[in-house]
Amino acid sequence: MSTMTYALTDSATMLRRQLKHMARYPSLTFMLIAMPVVFLLLFVYVFGGTLGDGLGGPSGGREAYIGYVVPGILMMTIAGAVQGTSISVAMDMTEGIVDRFRTMAIARVSVLTGHVLGSMIQILLGLVVVLGIALAIGYRPNAGPADWLALLGVFALIAFALTWLTVAAGISAKSAETASNTPMPLMFMPFIGSGFVPTDSMPGAMQWFADYQPFTPWIEATRGLLDDTGTDGTDLALTVAWAAAIALLGYLIARAKFNKR
Amino acid sequence: MFALGLMLTLIPPTRRGTMSTAKPLAIEARGLRKSYGDNTVLDGIDLAVPEGTIFSLLGPNGAGKTTTVNILSTLIGADAGKAFIAGHDTARDADRVRGAIGVTGQFAAVDNLLTGTENLHLMGRLHHLGRKETRRRAAELIEQFDLVDAARRVPSTYSGGMRRRLDIAMSLMGDPRVIFLDEPTTGLDPRSRRTMWTIIRELVAGGVTILLTTQYLDEADQLADRIAVLDGGRIVAEGSADELKRLIPGGHVSLRLNRADQIEKAANALGANATDPEQLTIQVPGDSSVASLRSLIDALDRESIEVADLTVHTPDLDDVFLALTGRPEHTQESTR
């Protein structure tokens, strides 16, 4: 077998390990999914009535707001779930098992790709659950089959980028506690973007940040696909560009730190 | 002699075995150095371990044992020096080295969320053994290491001995030719230690080479063909257990007397080097030969000294350590 096939089979082996971990330790997955669900319910039922009126649409109220906020909650699902990636990477690093992997003739990167692939599956699972609950409480997207397919691609891309970033955070962390705190700011990014209110309702500097941070095009692309309002090509291009840049950055840091340890 | 030495340094380590009747070297290190900032951890380590033997690195905490193992097992690089495992350069040919070794570190490197069997299967898959061979070897090792009980449970439910046994079993899934055991019995109860010793002896009987680090002198004494005493990043002595013991004059006869008033008299007559009036004991330097014991007993009779009991103390590695590093192993352990 060549180096490439080794990298693939070893990654598959490590992915299997991650999936077993998730099955053995479901409380982490549960917690990661529960959090955006709580935010969904909170924003729809507590703030939704008022915020919906402020959107300035024809209907307003809670129903208008649920249509607006779901893409933001979905981004929050991804941003929250990658905290789990960081924690499980850090736990691996602090236990002896990774040193064992490092003394074996395996494709080294597979230790990390196993985490990335495992987290991506966890994230997609979380997105399905959150979307399901949103539908159950009255969310009605207009997306057709092609939109859903495109959405899957967008979600996978964003998940890929943020997991690599948090794998890097997990390796750099000295303990599992630090590792769970480092990705915390990601959770707030949908707030300081177009996730919960339109950015033009924000004050100057904050609006500027909100317009140019990666979560805003991610949220807008998702919103466009879900509402089937014809996606802005710029948002899709920005989505891909940001995701690619963040994934590359995370990968390079993670690889360097992993080899250096 | 000089010419031979010169020749040996010119021939790559793998080929040396074919030159003479000596076994080829499984582990070779020349001038290994490692420091972290100002702290020199290894200060020029040379090792030569022939195939199929147990070599022990003996030393207190902080002597550099684990650092040596980490360099030899490709976990970290050395600042200077070279190391070869089964003829492969640890720096330039790390993957070949990794293919030849099994490592059991100081802290059990098992996956705590996987069962014993799953841990072994994970290793089998990473060694690309194939499904059938993975299952066969895992079942075999579970049997061999008395892990039948543990096979279906996760390691958090294991005893310390079971964790170590699983740890070593995992290292063996890839059928390594060289095995590193970093303090394999630290923290184990006496029975688990004995089990571990038996396992180690059986491994070597199967032809593998073992590098064992330990801070237990009796362990090195029991298991190792050769021992290197490590202190402050240097090898301060090297040889078989017997050779090391011969290095130091640690033998003495310990006498416990019946009467306190005879202690001084006995000490003078026998040339004792230590007395303990409270315990009524004196220590007389000497070996365990019958001749020296006879002359000792003759002297006791001559002086009419009443002796309660007599013990002959042959030097052990504790004495070696004391003599070589200028401090007892135990006190140092407790001060770190």
C-beta of residue A149 within 8 angstroms of C-beta of residue A226: no
Q: CA-CA distance, B173 to B287, in Å (whole number)?
A: 47
Nearest Cβ partner of A99 from B75, B112, B126?
B75
Contact between chains at A101 and B126 (C-beta distance less than 8 A): yes
Instruction: Tell me the CB-side half-sphere exposure of residue A121, using CA atoms within 13 A.
Output: 14
Q: State which residue of chain B sits closest to A104, comparing Cα positions.
A: B98
DSSP string across B72-129:
HTTSS--SEEEEEETTEETTT-HHHHHHHEEEE-SS----TTS-HHHHHHHHHHHTT-
pLDDT digits (tens, 9 = 90+) for B284-336: 877 767 888 888 888 888 888 888 888 887 776 667 776 776 655 444 333 33
pLDDT digits (tens, 9 = 90+) for B164-187: 899 999 999 999 999 999 988 888
Contact between chains at B174 and A21 (C-beta distance less than 8 A): no
| Token pair recorded at residue B121 | 């299967």
pLDDT digits (tens, 9 = 90+) for A108-167: 899 999 999 999 999 999 999 999 999 999 999 999 999 999 999 999 999 999 999 999
3-state secondary structure of B155: helix
Backbone angles phi, psi at B107, to 5 degrees: -110, 120
List, in order of start, the domains of chain B with CATH numbers. Answer: 22-246 (3.40.50.300), 252-314 (3.30.70)
| Token pair recorded at residue B45 | 């380590």
Average pLDDT, integer, range B253-259: 86
Q: CA-CA distance, B230 to B237, in Å (whole number)?
A: 8
Q: CA-CA distance, A73 to A134, in Å (whole number)?
A: 10
- How buried is residue A17: exposed, middle or buried, by Cβ count under 10 Å (0-12/13-18/19+)? buried
Q: Which residues of A touch B101 (CB under 8 A)?
A: 103
Residue B284 is given by DSSP the state: E
Residue B23 is given by DSSP the state: P
| Token pair recorded at residue B308 | 């309660």
Q: What pLDDT sits at residue B141?
A: 93
**Residue B182: closest CA among B219, B207, B232:** B219
Q: What pLDDT sits at residue B288?
A: 67
Would you say residue B208 has pLDDT above 50? yes
The reply to whether B179 touches chain A by the CB within 8 Å rule is no
Would you say residue B1 has pLDDT above 60? no
| Token pair recorded at residue A50 | 């008022």
Find the Cα–Cα–Cα–Cα dihedral A151, A155, A160, A163, rounded to 10°. Answer: 180
Q: What pLDDT sits at residue A210?
A: 93
The model's confidence at residue B15, banded by pLDDT at 50, 70 and 90, is very low
pLDDT digits (tens, 9 = 90+) for A64-106: 899 999 999 999 999 999 999 999 999 888 888 888 999 999 9
DSSP string across B188-241:
--HHHHHHHHHHHHHHHHTT-EEEEEES-HHHHHHH-SEEEEEETTEEEEEE-H
Helix%, strand%, coil% for chain A, nearest 5: 80, 0, 20
Q: What pLDDT sits at residue B249?
A: 63
Contact between chains at A25 and B170 (C-beta distance less than 8 A): no
Beta strands B226-231 and B54-58 are parallel
Which ipTM did the prediction report? 0.87
Q: What pLDDT sits at residue B325?
A: 66
Q: What percent of chain B has pLDDT over 70?
A: 87
The model's confidence at residue B14, banded by pLDDT at 50, 70 and 90, is very low
Q: What pLDDT sits at residue A2?
A: 67
